[in-house]
Amino acid sequence: MNELPPLRDVIDAHGLRAKKALGQNFLLDLNLTRKIARAAGSLEATTVLEVGPGPGGLTRALLMEGAGRVIAIEKDERCLAALEEISQAYPGKLEIIEGDALTLNEAEVLGESQSSVKVVANLPYNIGTALLVKWLTPQVWPPFYDSLTLMFQKEVAERIVAQPGEKNYGRLSVLCGWRTKAELLFDVPRQAFTPPPKVTSAIVRLTPHPRPLFEADLSALEKVVAAAFGQRRKMLRQSLKSLGVPAETLLTSAGLDPTRRAETLSIEEFCALARAFASHP
Ligand code: SAM
């Protein structure tokens, strides 16, 4: 909005020197933040949950792109006054919560709202994976959101979308692919941030499948995937020994060749393994 000052002035006026411990790398280019907001699809009649608004570059973009409502959770209390100015420019549209996204109870914050919910965030790099895992592992599925549009370090983004046989294929790829459709949309160069991080970033969009693609118990799946990738170069008959049940028996009942390695297994095969593990006496 016209009456809001440029983000660089906001940062100076509120003394928002970036803190490394909070993963603070700010985006000041509204063209870029609007592109990220648009990557989430239509925001009309949508409640957007934004994690880590900081000085509010992406927050402004979400509102400019027509978000019905934005709920933003920020841990750094220095940013709250700057965010309050955005809230005043968009009356009734922006709710700011001071808190930690890792412990946020989203259902409580979103209340009874029947509108579509999308999560859009330029995540603090140090807790990005932990937050993603939190959003992918609720006991009840489908989850509270219709999509997650998130910025990660490129290397993490590549792990999220990796397919069997690719070098980045691992625990995160299996979890994401089991419950969502994950797409890598575009890169964001380090120079786009203030201050610039060490590595390139990328935007990923995850859209939950109404039901996971293949039947499996979440905790059994997490255990077998962790054991298999814990020693990713070893054959499964070796790496699965850490599960404490006879590995060869498990593999046989899942119909898998014991000499295979974790990185070759499809999500469907990991689910078969999880079912065999869960039903092992
Ligand atoms: N959205 C802003 C942008 O795009 O310019 C800032 C993004 S910056 C990478 C990450 C933001 O997350 C910072 O403002 C930081 O203070 C905030 N943050 C860090 N840890 C957090 C946590 N546990 N919960 C909520 N916000 C957090």
Ligand 1 pocket: which of 11, 16, 17, 24 to mutate (most atoms within 8 A of CB): 24
Do 18 and 57 belong together in one domain?
Answer: yes
**Domain harbouring 183, CATH code:** 3.40.50.150
| Among candidate residues 93, 104, 105, the one with its CA nearest the CA of residue 45 | 93
Ligand 1 centroid to Cα of residue 225, in Å, is: 30
Among protein residues, the one with the nearest Cα to ligand 1's atom 11 is 52
Residue 2 lies in a domain: no
Do 187 and 128 belong together in one domain?
Answer: yes
DSSP 3-state assignment of 88? Answer: helix
37 close to 64: Cβ distance less than 8 angstroms: yes
The total number of structural domains that make up the chain:
2
pLDDT in single tens digits along all 281 residues of the chain:
458 999 999 999 999 999 999 999 999 999 999 999 999 999 999 999 999 999 999 999 999 999 999 999 999 999 999 999 999 999 999 999 999 999 999 999 998 777 899 999 999 999 999 999 999 999 889 999 999 999 999 999 999 999 999 999 999 999 999 999 999 999 999 999 999 999 999 999 999 999 998 999 999 999 999 999 999 999 999 999 999 999 999 999 999 999 999 999 999 999 999 999 999 87
Strands 201-208 and 69-74: what pairing? unpaired
Do 59 and 176 belong together in one domain?
Answer: yes
Range of the domain at 95: 7-208
Residue 258 lies in a domain: yes
| Among candidate residues 145, 175, 146, 170, the one with its CA nearest the CA of residue 158 | 170
Do 152 and 18 belong together in one domain?
Answer: yes
Residue 130 beta carbon below 6 angstroms from any ligand 1 atom: no
Do 12 and 151 belong together in one domain?
Answer: yes
- What is the pLDDT at residue 55? 97
Residue 1 lies in a domain: no
Distance CA(159)–CA(171), nearest Å, equals: 9
Residue 22 beta carbon below 6 angstroms from any ligand 1 atom: yes
Residue 70 beta carbon below 6 angstroms from any ligand 1 atom: no
- What is the pLDDT at residue 280? 85
- What is the pLDDT at residue 2? 52
Residue 25 lies in a domain: yes
Ligand 1 centroid to Cα of residue 64, in Å, is: 20
**Domain harbouring 231, CATH code:** 1.10.8.100
Distance CA(281)–CA(278), nearest Å, equals: 8
Interacting residues of 31 by C-beta distance below 8 A, sequence separation 6+: none
